[in-house]
């Protein structure tokens, strides 16, 4: 029932900025953590940034100081990307996770991805 829809990707010059958005639709509950992953061509998917319902954040070393993750509410998460580099190029995926609680199973949802291309 839950779907994550990303937007905001595109082509940008090195040094430029983009703001990615992720909206969860069809969700009747809050997620414990939401984040962004990316996958460059020929590379493994890697964590870019994540945030928990408690407000803690985590960033990949390669983006620390340049990217900022934020949550507007239970259904939306954003990734502000500044000082973009060509190596930031890849498909960015939104991720949402809810831990297991009692009889409830853990849940993890992925978006379809949005392409970010940084030209030099």
How many angstroms separate the CA atoms of 4 and 75, rounded? 9
For residue range 5-64, list pLDDT tens digits in order.
999 999 999 999 999 999 988 776 788 999 999 999 899 999 999 999 888 999 999 999
- Given a contact cutoff of 8 angstroms between Cβ atoms, the answer to whether 67 and 17 are in contact is no
pLDDT value, residue 96:
94
**Residue 72: pLDDT band by 50, 70, 90 thresholds?**
confident
SS3 116: strand
């Amino acid at each position: 029932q839950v779907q994550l829809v990303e937007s905001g990707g595109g082509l940008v010059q090195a040094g430029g900025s983009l703001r990615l958005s992720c909206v969860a639709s069809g969700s009747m509950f809050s997620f414990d953590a939401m984040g962004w992953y990316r996958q460059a061509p020929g590379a493994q998917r890697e964590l870019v940034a994540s945030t928990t319902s408690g407000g803690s954040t985590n960033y990949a070393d390669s983006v620390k100081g340049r990217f900022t993750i934020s949550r507007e509410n239970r259904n939306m998460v954003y990734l502000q990307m500044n000082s973009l580099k060509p190596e930031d190029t890849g498909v960015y995926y939104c991720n949402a996770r809810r831990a297991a609680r009692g009889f409830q199973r853990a849940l993890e949802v992925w978006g379809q991805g949005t392409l970010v291309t940084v030209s030099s």
